[in-house]
Chains A and B, each alone.
Chain A
Amino acid sequence: MNKILLGRYLPGSSLIHRLDPRAKLLLSFYFIIIIFLANNWSSYFLLFFFMALTILLAKIKIGFFWKGVRPLIWLILFTVVLQIFFSTGGTVYWHWGILSVTSTGLVSGIYVFCRFVLIIFMSTLLTLTTPPLEIAGAMESLLKPLKKVHFPVYEVSLMLSIALRFVPTLMDEALKIMNAQRSRGVNFDQGSLMQRLKAVVPLLIPLFVSAFNRAEDLATAMEARGYHGGEGRTKYRVHQWLYHDTLSCLAFLALTIGMLLLRNW
C-alpha cells in the first residue's frame, strides 16, 4: 500500500513548503496550462529549467518524482510510440505499411514525453509539499465565489477533508478484512477472472457495512459537538498571503513572458 504516492506529503520547511496553498494550487494548474504553449526546443528547455529550479527550492530528492512517473510510464510510452509511428511530415527514416518513423514524428514523440513528465513533476511537487488538508482548505477558499450560484462550498470541502482523513483508516480496515477472510480460506490472488471477482465480495460488503457504521458514529459525534451546517462557523486555519506568494506569482509571470517570446522566435 505504501507504493502509492497520491496524497503523500513530505514535511519540510522550504520556501515551496511555506507558500500559501491557494497560490500553490493555482500556480500548479497554471503551469500545466503553460506547458501547452511550448512548441520548440528552447521553450521546453525553459520549462525544464524552471521545474528544476522549483524542485531545488523545495529541497526534495529527485527520486520521489521518479516514483510519481513510474506508475504512468506505460501510458506515457504508449502515447509516445503512437506519436512516433503515426505522424507524417518531415524526413522519412523508415516506412512499413501505415507505420512510418519521420523526423516530425520523433520530435513530437519527445515533446509528448516532456509534457507528461512536466505535468507529473508539477503535480507531484504540489502533493509532496502541501498537506492534503491544506489542499482541501485551499480548494474551499478558491471555490468561494461559487457560493453565489448556491454551490454548497463548505459541505463539499468538509466531505473532501473527511474523505482524506479516512483514507488511511479505511485502507487499514480493508487490509484487516482481507487477512481475516484469508484466514477463513478466501483466495484473493488466484483463479480465473470470475473467481477473483467473486473473492472480492467478502471484502467489499464488510467494508461497506463498516463505512456505514463509521458514518453514523461520526455524524453523531459531530452533532454532539454542535455541528449544524456550514453557516456561522469560524475557521481554525486561515491562509495568509505573504510577500513570497506574490513573488512566486511574479516568477510565473516572467515564465509566461519568456514562453511567449520563445514560442514566436
Chain B
Amino acid sequence: MEKIAEIKNLNFKYSQQDSWLFHDFNLAINRYEWLAIIGHNGSGKSTLARLIDGLLVPQAGEIWIDQQKMSSENVWQLRKKIGMVFQNPENQFVGANVADDVAFGLENQAVPYEKMHQRVAAALKRVNMWEFSEQEPANLSGGQKQRVAIAGVIALKPKIVILDEATSMLDPAGRYDVISLIKELKEQEGLTVISITHDIDEASLADRVVVLDDGKILDAASPANVFSQGQTLTNLGLDVPFSEKVKLALKQQDVLTPSEYYTEQRMVDWICQSILKK
C-alpha cells in the first residue's frame, strides 16, 4: 500500500526532559487509512501529531509526507497537505466570527478573493454551519465550534487530517456528530485520518489502531485485534469497548465467551444465540 506519511528513526525529547520521549521511532501511515493512536496521558500522542505537522522539530530522524522529506525549507509547503483539529474548541478559534475563522487558513495561503468566498461557503455548507456564518464564537456550542474548525480544515483541501483529541471536550451527542462528519468527509474527499484519542468508540472506527506507551509502539493492528486483548489495555490505563466489558463481566460469571473481539451488534447476536442454545 502507498504510504502518505512515514516516520523513520525519529528521536525527540523536550528541552526540559532528560530521557528521549521517542527513541528510534518508526511509523508508516497508508493513504486513505483511518489510523487511531491511543495511549495513556503522557505517552506522546499529541507530541507525535505535532511532529508530523512540523510544529515540533525532532532532534534526529526523518519525516516524510507525501513522498517528500520534511525540512525547514518545505515545512510550510508540506503543512498545506495536513489539516489539524485540536482539542479545545475555544482556543483554536482565530476569527472573530465563523466565516472569518474558516477563511483564516485560506487567507494565509493567499487564495484570491472570489475563490476564497466560494470555498468558505462550500466548507461551511459541508459541515451544516452555513446559517451560522456571521455568528460569533461566544454564541456557538462546543460541537458547533469544532465543526467550524473542521470546515476550516476542509476548506484548505488537505490530504491528511489529524484530530488531536478533537472530541474530548464534547458531550456524547457532539462527539457522535463530529465523528460521523469526519467519517463522511473521509469517504467523499479521500482523506487520510489520524485520530488521536482517548475515546475507545472513536478508535474502534479506525482501520488500524496504534497503542502508544511512553513513546513506544506497543501494538499496531486492527481494532478487533487490539481490543481482544482487553486485560492488557486495562493494565495500560486504557478503556476497553463496551462489548469487551460485557465479556469480562460474563467471564466472571463463568460463562464461556468468544476470545476474538466482537462489535456491539455481534455481541448482541452472540448472546441471543447462546441463550437459544441452552
Contact = CB atoms under 8 A, between A and B. Distances in A.
A164 B94 CA distance: 11
Nearest to B92: A221
B108 A228 contact: yes
A165 B93 contact: yes
A225 B105 contact: yes
A225 B53 CA distance: 10
Given A217-B88, A236-B120, A133 B97 contact: yes
A238 B117 CA distance: 11
Interface residues of A, number: 31
Of the candidates B93, B96, B113, the one having the most CB atoms from chain A within 10 angstroms of its own CB is B96
Contacts of B117: 236
Contacts of B152: 225
B154 interface: no
Interface string A112-150: 000000000000000000011100100000000000000
Contacts of A169: 90, 137-138
Nearest to A169: B90
Interface stretch (B35-43, B66-74, B76-84, B218-226): B76-84
A236 B106 contact: yes
A224 B56 CA distance: 11
A214 B108 contact: no
A74 to B, nearest CB: 31
Contacts of A164: 96
B95 interface: yes
Interface in B42-71: 50, 53, 55
B216 to A, nearest CB: 25
Interface of B: 50, 53, 55, 76, 79-80, 82-84, 86, 88, 90-97, 99-100, 103-113, 116-117, 120, 136-138, 152, 156
